[in-house]
């Protein structure tokens, strides 16, 4: 029997961040997450979902006729068969990204996948599960994100960034937590401190274009 994954939704939308921002992308949202970040905007993916075998997922992704696919959650790596899915999508010639929290081991992730790793700051309430050894294994094509809930998170993230042995060229984003921190605040702090980071637009939240039509337009993490 082929491997299966519990899926919350598969939808077509625009990528919201990184160098593929604005590019039509298929999002595959896996069900379940071991964390409970206080700002989580996808709590509906914690439970429920439907079992899909991997070939059915690939068929559904291909129906959207776009080469970009983002595997997200919940926490996609919480389900073992996610590694098989990532390899299958890559083998199909798709450009695959994976959105995962900094709490998960990245061993076994297909090297063709762009990894987007969300390092949890203290304001998330989930800092302790962070695996700080993981970012050192990232490549210049990968991305590290810190969701910032206030000035203390900004300072913590700046300090943590100095400690992490990130490869040269790896993109770093400081993403203001939606409705907790005005985007202009870190933008004001940045010119003085100048950490080598970007500020995504929109800030950490499900982009409005993904929310149309109820639960993410019929989608992200
Ligand atoms: S890791 Fe992501 S899905 Fe899980 S609780 Fe945190 S924000 Fe929500």
Per-10-residue mean pLDDT of the chain, 221 residues long, equals: 93 82 93 97 96 98 97 97 98 97 95 96 96 89 94 94 88 87 79 70 47 37 39
| Structural contact between residues 99 and 73, judged by C-beta atoms closer than 8 angstroms | yes
Q: Is the CB of 36 under 6 A from ligand 1?
A: yes
pLDDT at 201: 55
Is the CB of residue 102 below 6 angstroms from any atom belonging to ligand 1?
no
Nearest to 160 by CA among 123, 187, 192, 188: 123
Distance (Å, whole) CA 122 – CA 147? 10
For residue 76 and ligand 1, the question of a CB distance below 6 A is answered with: no
Is 191 strand, coil or helix? helix
pLDDT at 18: 66
Nearest-CA residue for atom 3 of ligand 1:
74
Q: Pick the closest to residue 134 from 164, 99, 170 (CA basis).
A: 164
What is the structure's pLDDT at 183? 77
Distance between CA atoms of residues 139 and 149, nearest Å: 27
Residue with tokens 């409005």: 208
Q: Is the peptide bond before 9 cis (omega within 30 degrees of 0)?
A: no
Q: Which protein residue has the closest C-alpha to ligand 1 atom 2?
A: 74
Residue 74 confidence (pLDDT): 95
Distance 103 CA to ligand 1 centre (A): 10
**Mean pLDDT rounded to a whole number for the chain:** 87
The residue length of the chain stands at: 221
Rounded CA separation 86/197 (Å): 28
* C-beta 35 within 6 A of ligand 1: yes
Q: What is the pLDDT of residues 110-123, one digit of tens each?
A: 999 999 999 999 99
The edge-to-edge listing of strands for the beta sheet with 95-101 is: 50-53, 4-14, 24-30, 68-72, 95-101, 114-119, 143-148, 171-176
Give Cα 59 distance to the centre of its chain. 23
Domains of the chain: 4-211 (3.20.20.70)
Contact 139, 113 (CB under 8 A): no
Is ligand 1 within 6 A of the CB of residue 47?
Answer: no
């Amino acid at each position: 029997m082929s491997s299966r994954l519990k899926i919350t939704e598969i939808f077509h939308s625009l990528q919201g961040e990184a160098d593929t921002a604005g590019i039509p992308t298929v999002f595959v949202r896996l069900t379940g997450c071991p964390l409970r970040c206080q700002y989580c905007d996808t709590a509906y993916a914690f439970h429920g979902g439907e079992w899909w075998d991997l070939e059915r997922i690939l068929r559904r992704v291909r129906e959207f006729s776009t080469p970009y696919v983002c595997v997200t959650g919940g926490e996609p790596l919480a389900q073992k068969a996610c590694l098989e899915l990532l390899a299958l999508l890559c083998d199909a010639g798709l450009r695959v990204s994976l959105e995962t929290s900094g709490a998960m081991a990245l061993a076994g992730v297909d090297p063709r996948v762009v990894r987007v790793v969300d390092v949890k700051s203290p304001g998330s309430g989930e800092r302790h599960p962070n695996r700080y050894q993981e970012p050192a294994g990232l490549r210049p094509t990968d991305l590290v994100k810190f969701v910032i809930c206030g000035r203390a998170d900004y300072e913590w993230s700046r300090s943590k960034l100095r400690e992490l042995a990130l490869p040269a060229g790896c993109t770093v984003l400081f993403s203001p937590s939606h409705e907790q921190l005005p985007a202009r605040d870190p933008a004001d702090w940045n010119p003085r401190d100048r950490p080598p980071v970007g500020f995504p637009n929109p800030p950490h939240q499900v982009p409005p274009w993904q929310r149309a039509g109820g639960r993410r337009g019929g989608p992200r993490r």
